[in-house]
Chains A and B, each alone.
Chain A
Amino acid sequence: MGAAESKRDTPPEVVTTGLRGWLNRRIGLDALLSSALDEPIPGGARLAYIFGSGLLFVLLSQIITGVFLALYYVPSADHAHTTVAYITKSVTAGSFLRSLHGYGASAMVVVLLLHLSQTYLYGAYKGRRELLWFSGCVLFALVLGMAFTGYLLPWDQKAYFATAVGTNAASEVPLIGESLKRMMRGGTDMGTLTISRFYVAHVFLIPACIFALIASHIFLFRKAGAAGPVTEDPLTPKQRTEPFYPRQVLMDLSLTALLIIGLGLLCFFMPMSLGPAANPADSQYIPRPEWYYLPIFQWLKYWHGAASVIGVLIVPTVLALAIIAVPFLDRGIERRPWKRPVATGAYAFVLIAVVGLGLRSAYLDKHDPEVAQQLAKQKGEEEEYMRKPFEPELSAASMAAANVALADPVAAKGKEIFEQRSCNACHGDGGVGTVAAPALIGVGAKLSADQLAQLLKQPNAKMAAGGMPAVDDLPADDLKALVAYVASLK
């Protein structure tokens, strides 16, 4: 085992032979592994501590699936829905990966709430862990931001209208509300600029912030050390410690395995559906947000007019500040939840309120016959859309060519002549131009109809040199039609 060598130049517990030795001399692999895996956990490994690594795993899955989805997705109002439909209906494993990303967002929120609840109930924010708690709060907000911005990107009916409502809520903020809404939408209305903004936030800005904050979150966690069980002193742990590896790692991995199996089965047997493309003119559509936004959605229903500032701004701000300030408000070293009635009571109150609001929203939708009927209709439309095969988008060039024929009967006749007389052989279909002759698009803006007719009958020297034959054998009406068609090319 290379004992002699190890005695000579490296600390004894470090392997110096083989690939591992090679890596040890260069990057200090064993030291890295040791600092990652030997983190002491006061009181030993527990299932209660598994949610943080669970979150990291789901995040990793979101990053990977997100990057792959970007292989086909195009962020523009013209193409977003088509490309998501292409992913869902045509691309191999596309429906599975998109579902993994979509359900992954829900999984992220669920595991995050479990992680937050565990930290809170265990009083694991105590003992100089204010910054750790604070970075976690910001991460929570960022994850909700990811969910909000990602929801719009498929640009189907539910995405469009849910985001319309979501951005509208921002306009309730006093003074800056309207500007805030316009800032998010990239204008007064939702449109292709909104997609660009949401895409940039979803793919570049928020992920960058998340990476930075996760790094600091983990750094702060390692700095403060694991808090251990509720009976442990948060400042100076006294209980026997157990290293992170192997028992805690195995427990963490069991959650990961559970998540992989759960998400995998869900995505395989109940893939996410996609609704028909967003139709902003649809005045019947009733938008409903994703389940984790239902409580906020229901909450906002209770606040109207002058009072809305309380519901939209004051209460959420106070709540957010209170959550951030938890380590400052609850300062004792007591961590057992039953000995912290105020903290535990506040948690129970918020939990009951949030769950209650969500349930209330679902209940109301179910028991209002009109709403229930419309929601059922929307669901039916979505199912019908999913049954249809993928229909490729007609490219802009072919639409322009097709439209001319419909617009003006004289120009339509001219189009026929244009093709019969082989004008398109050199000038291209729809006058787009080829290597043999220039484009005719826009020529109508430069030359009058008479000038065009004259040039057709008697090409100028430059045109003749390029091989343009004289069109001097056409009846007057046909020439007029041809001129009308050429002038209509845009």
Chain B
Amino acid sequence: MTRISGGSSDGLAGEPAPLELESGKRRSFLGALLALGSFFVGTLLSVPLVRFALFPLLRRTTELEASPVGALSEFSSLTEPIAKIIQIEQVDGWRKAVSEKTVYVTKDKNGRLSVLSSICPHLGCTVPWVTAKSEFICPCHGAVYTSDGSRISGPSLRGMDTLDTSVQDGQLLVRFQYFRQLTSDKEVIG
């Protein structure tokens, strides 16, 4: 598109002063070049801005890390479930919340170590291990579970919930999660 500068043109686009047209062409070419250059530099400069703004979307800023339960050696001669208080750290952007949860370290049916959430899958009470009866018995509504967490009796629709575990440097780690109550299927809620 040609933009003719100055007021000397008589208005007939077909017959402007040749010099004017020449300079007008040069000006619009330069203008296009500048616009292109500015667009390029602007795009380049906006890269850090976009990355900065999108940081929470591309990186996990709310995370729940695995919490240490104790040394593996501590659980080598397990005869009954033992309660452990773990600290769970919940990171939310630049802040974190630390809370304590009770879990049970026990052995599953095959004799392998497993970690149970102490939260009753019925209505969420903390289930204590009753050594005298060798059973988990919920104090609230009387759900009863075996030492590996399987349901024996009571109002609960499923056994106690097992948590994901891992081992790192001889330490047993557990990822604490909450599960929906009053259902027969184990379903993570957060």
Contacts and interface: CB of A to CB of B under 8 A. Distances in A.
Interface residues of A, number: 60
A86 B9 contact: no
A92 B99 contact: no
Contacts, number: 144
B140 A397 contact: no
A92 B98 contact: no
Contacts of A1: 2, 13
B52 A86 contact: no
Contact of A419 (B1, B7, B59, B126): B126
A454 interface: no
Interface string A387-422: 000101111011001100000000000000001111
In the complex, which range does the number of interface residues on chain B fall in?
35 or more
Nearest to B98: A398
A401 B99 contact: yes
A395 B92 CA distance: 9
Contacts of A3: 12-14
Contacts of B3: 13, 15, 30
Contacts of A93: 47-49, 51-52, 55
A429 interface: yes
A7 B99 CA distance: 79
B91 A392 contact: yes
A392 B95 contact: yes
Contacts of B127: 422
A422 B139 contact: yes
Contacts of B125: 422, 425-426
Contacts of A425: 119-120, 123-126, 140
A436 interface: yes
B171 interface: no
B14 A397 contact: no
B74 interface: no
Interface string B126-146: 111000000000111000000
A3 B14 CA distance: 7
Interface stretch (A245-253, A318-326, A344-352): A245-253
B8 to A, nearest CB: 10
Nearest to B126: A422
A3 B10 CA distance: 12
Nearest to B139: A422
A68 B12 contact: no
A79 interface: yes
A38 interface: yes
B11 interface: yes
A72 interface: yes
A469 interface: yes
A245 B53 contact: no
A92 B52 contact: yes
B4 interface: yes
Contact of A13 (B5, B30, B93, B97): B5
Contacts of B54: 92
Contacts of A249: 34
Contacts of A171: none
B45 interface: yes
A97 interface: yes
Interface string B102-135: 1000000000000000011001111110000000
Contacts of B119: 425
A20 interface: yes
Given A71-B53, A96-B48, A398-B97, A18 B10 contact: no
Nearest to A83: B94
B19 interface: no
A393 B94 contact: yes
B132 to A, nearest CB: 14
A18 B114 CA distance: 72
A243 B51 CA distance: 40
A215 interface: no
Contacts of B53: 68, 71
Contacts of B11: 6-7, 11-12
A245 B6 CA distance: 13
B118 to A, nearest CB: 8
Interface string A87-114: 0001111101100100000000000000
Interface of A: 1-3, 6-7, 11-13, 15, 17-18, 20, 30, 34, 38, 64-65, 68, 71-72, 79, 82-83, 85-86, 90-94, 96-97, 100, 243, 245-246, 249, 253, 257, 260, 390, 392-395, 397-398, 401-402, 419-422, 424-426, 429, 436, 467, 469
Given A82-B94, A398-B98, A419-B100, 15 more contacts: A7-B11, A38-B5, A86-B93, A92-B52, A94-B55, A97-B48, A246-B34, A390-B94, A392-B92, A395-B97, A398-B96, A401-B100, A419-B102, A420-B126, A429-B99
8 contacts: A3-B14, A71-B53, A85-B94, A90-B55, A92-B55, A260-B45, A398-B99, A436-B124
- Counting from the closest, the 6 A-B pairs by CB-CB distance are A12-B11, A3-B13, A422-B126, A93-B48, A86-B94, A422-B125
